[in-house]
Structure 1
Amino acid sequence: MLAHSGGVGMTTSNQRTQAGELASARAAKKLAEASLYQALIARQRERYAAAYGRCVDTENREAARAMFTGAALFEGQAKRIPSRAKKAVEALKLAVFLLDPKAPA
């Protein structure tokens, strides 16, 4: 009969280490995604400002302002619900498109 060397305790320790590493990796991923979306939002805000200055269509400007407001709400909610940052970027892109369909990306 083979003697048992306490492998169970070792497995539990390894599992805790792996769980800690996994949690750390998830946190790092969240931070990276948050930074990415903040950069994308900043870029879209710049595009919006430039396109807004060029647009002369009053109706499109009003609609774009409403979308910009919606994007700001999504951006605020992104602190609690990270997926809202992606929606903010999408709303800003649509607002820019309303103002200037040929605006450079």
Structure 2
Amino acid sequence: MKQAIVARTDLGMSRGKLAAQVAHASLSAYEETSEKDRTAWKGGGQKKVVLKADGKRTLFDLADEAQHNGLPHAIVRDAGHTQLDPNTVTTLAVGPASEAAVDAVTGDLSLY
């Protein structure tokens, strides 16, 4: 089991902002996951990777692919309280799901 969080590199988010957005994405996608898969992921160490995306379009294309493949996923939009404008799309989480299924969607991306 694995979860991939894909973050935009074109926004210039600080490390703290990036960490917060990744956490939002991880939890949001987790909440969309079946209880069986939640349990398996938690029992297996909650494997996560953070990957790079060059922009908003990439996140939406990956989300469409995750949806098509029946994978839990979540797009995060920033509230706009600090560094970014309100509703700025920042991250996408795919999974938790089988590692092969997550890699089928995100496997071509580079580590953040």
TM over 0.5: no
Determine which structure has greater relative contact order: mean sequence separation of CA pairs < 8 Å that are 6+ residues apart, divided by chain length: 2
TM-score by length of 1: 0.31
The structure whose residues are more often helix, as a share, is 1
The structure whose residues are more often strand, as a share, is 2
TM-score by length of 2: 0.30
- Bigger-Rg structure (1/2): 1
